[in-house]
Amino acid sequence: MAASAADIRSALSIPESSTPAAPQPKKSTAAARKPEGISRELYSLIGPSAPSLAAQLAKPRLKQKPKFGGAGAKVRWELRAFKNPARSDSLELRHWEKVTPDGPSEYPFSKYSVQPNTYTYSQDEYTRFLEDKEWTKEETDYLFSVVQDYDSRWYIIHDRYEYPNDPQRSLEDLRDRYYSVCRKLIRHRPWAGDDLAKAALVSSFQFDKEREVMRKKYITSLENRTPDQIAEEEALYVEVKRLEHNERKFKRDRESLLRILAGIDSGLPDIVEDDGVPLGITGDASNTKAKKKKGGQTTDLDSPATPSVASLPASKRPHSTKNAAYDSQHCITRTEVPSTSVATKAAHQPAYLRSFKLPTPKAAIAPKISQSLAELGVKHTRLVMPTRENVHRLEALMEATTSLVETKRVVDKVDYDIQVLKTRLGLREQSHSANGGEAKIEGGDSMDIDNSQVGDAENEEGEGGRGQSVVSVRSGRSRKHPRRSMSVSSVDTASTRAGTKRQKRG
Amino acid sequence: MVNYGGDEVSALVIDIGTSSLRAGYAGDDTPKAIIPTSYGFHPPQPDTDVVMSDNTAENPEQPAEKPKFSKIYIGQSGPSMWRAGMEIGNPLENGLIRDFNPIKPLIEHAINKVMLCNSAEHPILVTEPTWNTPANRERMAEIMFEDFNVPAFYIANTGVLNAFAAGKGSALVIDVGQSMASVTPVVDGFVLRKGLAYSPLPKLVYAQARHLITAPTQHRRGVELIPHQLIASKLPVDVGAMPKFTFREDRIAGTTESWRNWAEAREVDEWVQTVAGVLEQGWNDQQAAQRPARQYEFPTGYNAYYGSDRFVVGEQFFTHSPALIASNPNLPKSIPQLITEALRACDPELRQVIMGNVVLTGGGTLFSGLADRLSNELARTFPHAKIHAPGNPIERRYGGWLGGSILASLGTFHQLWISREEWQEHGKPIVGQRCK
């Protein structure tokens, strides 16, 4: 509503805006057009803000009657006699007609009476061009009259064709004769238009009798099939459809599988499927058939879209050598395709981001490696700039770290063994003197493990406390290879209680 | 108006069949006048030209013009009313008009008495069966122009009209009437005359039914077909018991043989329409025995159950038993035979087209189970056959009239009428030229 802005201003006691004159004239115009059915007093009270109310107050009216025939003028109909221009006589039938100011018009249906264009010939023309040893002029005349009578509906012409001593003309005979006569007439008569139109007209009268007869024979043979033959045909058709469907499905599956597994979008255009992988439900027959077809296609067409396997390396090799200079200039490096002979699915190497191929440490020693790398201030999980060189260097660093960690572990192990052996030696010397029972040694297997593990745990704790300088080798080892620790401390002495504990842990 | 191509010039359509004569306005969906084609008449008195008083009341100039009958009774109360000495005649034989004498009174009755209109004001379209003779159609034209003073006339083929009634230009029309069964291939609104096949098959079915009713079996006694007009009173009896009724002795003497025949035929027809049927899946003794028996009561009060043998009657439409073939050398062809014959004469290319447009029409096709049986039979040999069988009995019985009603109300048709002027100018040959 136009007034609302001013109302709000007054309500919020905002001073009038810079255009105080604007709402004023609007109000006056709104007041001027007071709707009907509402009193002036009421309107001055509620103002123009209740148009819906005003509409309701309008005078009630009955439902409007539909207006037939446009402007409401009465339509008059008249029973009139009319003449049909398509008739040659003066028959007058009567029908009801709408009275129009411009009087009765021509009968609207007469325009549908189209006289077909027919050819006639003179005696002279007949003797010159149209002689045919199988047809007399009389019979040709008769044929033309029948064709005109039945408007070139050949089935009916053939049905009604009754020439005395008729030598049993077939439908094709009749058509052939009629069209050939028409063609000859067009050819030999003077032609006003251009040759193209003439040729088109002649071709419209073209009729190949042999072909028609052959076609009819085919139709007849099609009709004369026995039910068995029809059933067999049906079965074959269904089979073919099934095979086609299977093949399509096989292709689709293969495509999607390749896309998933080998990344066909980015990689090689054609990859030979391993023969031992039949996909899905495809039957044997269809499989081999599809293969055969595929083989045939690949050998037949040498289209660039699907290059055959044999031609693939040949086409790739020169490309790489030629552009060596270009590559070096643009810092392009090419990975050597590890193709031994045939590019198989397994050997295929799609394009990848280098950062995805960063070397990862072995899971067993990963924490240790990351720890040691962290000491160096290197984060191996993410390279800021994973260039080729950087990646190589990271790889080298990783390898070095791994070997260092491994070596450290071995060293630790050996140290420990030495220690253990030394203590055992000491014990033995003691038992020699004390002459201890052998039974204790027997049950040792399960217990000493625990011992070692407890030691390990202690070690870990200790190492954790010691900080980052010492790589805790033993803990990782013990977690990963409990078997080894078992063998190491096979001759340790401990209590029987620890056996159950080990089982729980394992 | 122009949208559907209709332009009504208040033409009349007359379709004369063996059982009934249909007349009505073109553009209507049902004929206004349906009167039996059979008519009752009193043969002319041998002695005279004395015109009886009641004669003049109904047909004033009749005895003078037509010496064949002194009095004629037409319409719903024509043949079905018993009158002493009244003979029954039917102008049609094998679907063709054999006797033109009663044609004029029949048409007159339909147009003037039932429809109450003046034939001189309306163009008239008459139908004819496909096997009509040129002489017959010319005679019909003559009657129309000379006796009825029609302004325009046309005679159209029932096969074509039936196809039109079904909305098809090309069709295989299977028409089973009261006396004839015909199969007519229609292409582009023209009949293929060489493909026409027809036979008086319904008569055989009638004969079979009559035999079944009247011949005694071990379960049933033979039935004497006595029309109700000759029965004074009757008492209800048990199934299969002897009927208890009394004759109207006064009428026995005055009953003519032709009337008796007509009345008995009507009884048989009633029985056929009520009881007889045909098995949908072909003849099968077990199936026929499984179907429930139907009770039927004759006018005498005699009533009986008809079991499996009621299906034997309908079977005649499709197959004839070897015994029957052996005893009758020229049996009428069955419907499948007619279809095969019609198709054999057609171009192989056409067979597919018309078998996809099979039109089933005629009152005889309302025979219980016939449409289903036919579609089963056709499906066996022509897997793509499609049958158009109107469910509305009016459309089925008066398909020919309906097609004529459609044709005569088309704007484009009005140029085909044979006008009175043309008739006077060219005479009879114009009929053959115009109505192809």
Distances (CA, A) of B352 to A85, A158, A233, B347: 39, 18, 19, 10
d(CA B212, CA B201): 17
Amino acid sitting at position B103: I
Asked if B414 lies within 8 A of A93 by C-beta distance, the reply is yes
* Cα angle A78, A79, A80; round to 5: 100
DSSP label at residue A62: P
Q: Is the pLDDT of residue B285 over 50?
A: yes
Residue among A156, A172, A174, A175 with most chain B CBs within 10 A, to mutate: A156
- Residues with Cβ within 8 Å of A266's Cβ and at least 6 positions away in sequence, in order, are A350, A351
Q: Is the pLDDT of residue B7 over 60?
A: yes
d(CA B116, CA B139): 25
Q: What pLDDT score was predicted for residue A418?
A: 94
d(CA B293, CA B219): 13
Chain A residues with beta carbon closer than 8 angstroms to that of B192: 155-156, 159
d(CA B241, CA B302): 7
Asked if A109 lies within 8 A of B411 by C-beta distance, the reply is yes
Mean pLDDT over the full length of chain B: 89
Asked if B187 lies within 8 A of A149 by C-beta distance, the reply is no
**pLDDT interval class at A5 (50, 70, 90):** low
Mean pLDDT over the full length of chain A: 70
Give, for B36, the enclosing helix (H) or strand (E): strand B33-36
3-state secondary structure of B33: strand
Asked if B195 lies within 8 A of A159 by C-beta distance, the reply is yes
Q: Is the pLDDT of residue A285 over 70?
A: no
Q: pLDDT by residue (tens digit) across A429-475?
A: 888 776 644 444 444 444 444 444 444 444 444 444 444 444 444 44
Asked if A153 lies within 8 A of B190 by C-beta distance, the reply is yes
How many of the other CB atoms lie within 10 Å of CB of B152?
A: 27
Q: Under a CB-based contact definition with an 8 Å cutoff, are residues B100 and B90 in contact?
A: no
In angstroms and rounded to an integer, the radius of gyration of the C-alpha atoms of chain A is 53
d(CA B124, CA B13): 6
Q: Nearest CA to CA, how far is A143 from chain B (Å)? A: 16
Chain A residues with beta carbon closer than 8 angstroms to that of B151: 91-93
Asked if B422 lies within 8 A of A89 by C-beta distance, the reply is yes
d(CA B320, CA B313): 10
Chain A residues with beta carbon closer than 8 angstroms to that of B9: 93-95
- Residues with Cβ within 8 Å of A275's Cβ and at least 6 positions away in sequence, in order, are none
Q: What pLDDT score was predicted for residue A435?
A: 60
Cα A293 to chain centroid distance, Å, stands at 24
Q: Nearest CA to CA, how far is A199 from chain B (Å)? A: 29
Residue with tokens 């001013």: A6
Distances (CA, A) of A198 to A134, A176, A207: 28, 20, 16
Give, for B160, the enclosing helix (H) or strand (E): helix B158-165
Q: Is the pLDDT of residue A1 over 80?
A: no
Asked if B417 lies within 8 A of A219 by C-beta distance, the reply is no
Closest CB to A155 among B5, B347, B421: B347
Residue B46's DSSP bridge partners are none
How many helices and strands, by DSSP H and E, does chain B display? Answer: 18, 21
Q: What value of ipTM does the predicted structure carry?
A: 0.84
Which token pair is A322?
Answer: 């030629």
d(CA A242, CA A248): 10
Residue among A92, A155, A171 with most chain B CBs within 10 A, to mutate: A155
Interface list for chain B against chain A, based on CB atoms closer than 8 Å: 2, 5, 7-10, 123, 151-152, 187-188, 190, 192-195, 347-351, 411-412, 414-415, 417, 419-422, 425, 436
**Entry pTM:** 0.64
Residue among B190, B343, B381, B436 with most chain A CBs within 10 A, to mutate: B190
- Residues with Cβ within 8 Å of A178's Cβ and at least 6 positions away in sequence, in order, are A143, A144, A147
Residue with tokens 């306005």: B25
Asked if A158 lies within 8 A of B436 by C-beta distance, the reply is no
Asked if B412 lies within 8 A of A93 by C-beta distance, the reply is no
Strand order in the sheet with B418-419: B33-36, B20-25, B12-16, B124-128, B152-157, B418-419
Q: What pLDDT score was predicted for residue A363?
A: 76
Averaged pLDDT for residues B248-272: 92
d(CA B191, CA B154): 16
Chain A residues with beta carbon closer than 8 angstroms to that of B421: 89-91
- Residues with Cβ within 8 Å of B115's Cβ and at least 6 positions away in sequence, in order, are B12, B23, B24, B25, B32, B33
Q: pLDDT by residue (tens digit) across A78-98?
A: 888 888 888 888 888 888 888
Which token pair is B299?
Answer: 């006018």
Q: What pLDDT score was predicted for residue B54?
A: 45
Chain B residues with beta carbon closer than 8 angstroms to that of A112: 411-412
Residue among A79, A89, A110 with most chain B CBs within 10 A, to mutate: A89
Closest of B332, B85, B21 to residue B203, by C-alpha: B332
| H-helix segments, B215-296 | 249-252, 257-274, 285-290
Q: What pLDDT score was predicted for residue A65?
A: 75
Asked if B436 lies within 8 A of A84 by C-beta distance, the reply is no
Averaged pLDDT for residues A293-304: 40
Q: Is the pLDDT of residue A365 over 90?
A: no
Residue B154's DSSP bridge partners are B125
Residue among B412, B418, B424 with most chain A CBs within 10 A, to mutate: B412
Residue B25's DSSP bridge partners are B12
Which token pair is B28?
Answer: 């209507």
Closest of B73, B67, B72 to residue B47, by C-alpha: B67
Q: What pLDDT score was predicted for residue A450?
A: 44
Q: Nearest CA to CA, how far is A246 from chain B (Å)? A: 29
Averaged pLDDT for residues B24-50: 85
d(CA B405, CA B165): 9
The β-bridge relationship of strands B231-235 and B244-247 is antiparallel
Q: Is the pLDDT of residue A60 over 60?
A: yes
Q: Nearest CA to CA, how far is B8 from chain A (Å)? A: 6
Q: What percent of chain A has pLDDT over 70?
A: 59
Closest CB to A109 among B412, B417, B436: B412
Asked if B9 lies within 8 A of A94 by C-beta distance, the reply is yes
d(CA A104, CA A112): 19
Amino acid sitting at position B12: L
Asked if B419 lies within 8 A of A149 by C-beta distance, the reply is no
Chain B residues with beta carbon closer than 8 angstroms to that of A113: 412, 415
Asked if A159 lies within 8 A of B192 by C-beta distance, the reply is yes
Q: Is the pLDDT of residue A322 over 70?
A: no
Which token pair is A304?
Answer: 């660039």
Long-range contacts at B7-10 (CB < 8 A, ≥ 24 apart)? B7/A95, B7/A108, B7/A109, B7/B409, B7/B410, B7/B411, B7/B414, B8/A95, B8/A96, B8/B409, B9/A93, B9/A94, B9/A95, B9/B123, B9/B409, B9/B414, B10/A94, B10/A95, B10/B121, B10/B122
Phi, psi of B245 (to 5 degrees): -150, 165
Chain B residues with beta carbon closer than 8 angstroms to that of A156: 187-188, 190, 192
Chain A residues with beta carbon closer than 8 angstroms to that of B422: 89, 91
Closest of A145, A210, A215, A130 to residue A177, by C-alpha: A130
Lowest mean pLDDT among A194-208, A344-358, B47-61, B284-298: B47-61
Asked if A94 lies within 8 A of B10 by C-beta distance, the reply is yes
